[in-house]
Amino acid sequence: MWLISTEAKFSAAHQLHGYSGKCEKLHGHNFKVKVTVETDTLQEIGLGIDFKELKVMLIDVIEKFDHCNLNELPEFKAQRCDLNPTAENIAKLIWDNLNSKIKSQNVGNRYICSLREVQVWESDTNSVIYYESE
């Protein structure tokens, strides 16, 4: 089994509703995202998935977060009961969007891999990991 990872970054502002403390005010972070896929099958040339293609998929998912107020994105608006843009919820959102992209790459056996986890840092020392157990 192989685990294959790539990272990307984005900068964004957010505020946490219902939170008592500094984070209830609008503030910003330089977020880092690491995604890991797993595979037990390699292509003829020895790749599980091309790092470049995995990174392109990740950037495609997170580019809408870059340099914006996360609270204003549709994913965090009132139709979702004002879902707070916490690192936990951001990681789940990235998982949902990236997982569908990876599954589409598996069509036709181009790659045989699955998303293992999404890790989101909102600072150098604070991160959250989202994964789904089978």
Distances (CA, A) of 85 to 54, 59, 82: 24, 18, 9
Residue 32 confidence (pLDDT): 98
How far apart (Å, rounded) are the C-alpha atoms in residues 129 and 6?
14
Amino acid 104: pLDDT: 79
DSSP annotation of 81 reads T
What is the pLDDT tens value at each position of the chain, 134 positions in all? 999 999 999 999 999 988 999 999 999 999 999 999 999 988 888 989 999 999 999 999 999 999 999 999 988 875 545 689 999 999 999 999 999 888 877 655 666 889 999 999 999 999 999 999 86
- Residue 133 pLDDT: 85
- Please report the pLDDT score of residue 66 as a whole number: 98
Structurally, how many domains does the chain consist of?
1
> Domain limits at 123?
2-130
pTM for the structure as a whole: 0.91
- Cβ atoms of 90 and 81 within 8 Å: the answer is no
Indicate which CATH number applies to the domain containing 16.
3.30.479.10
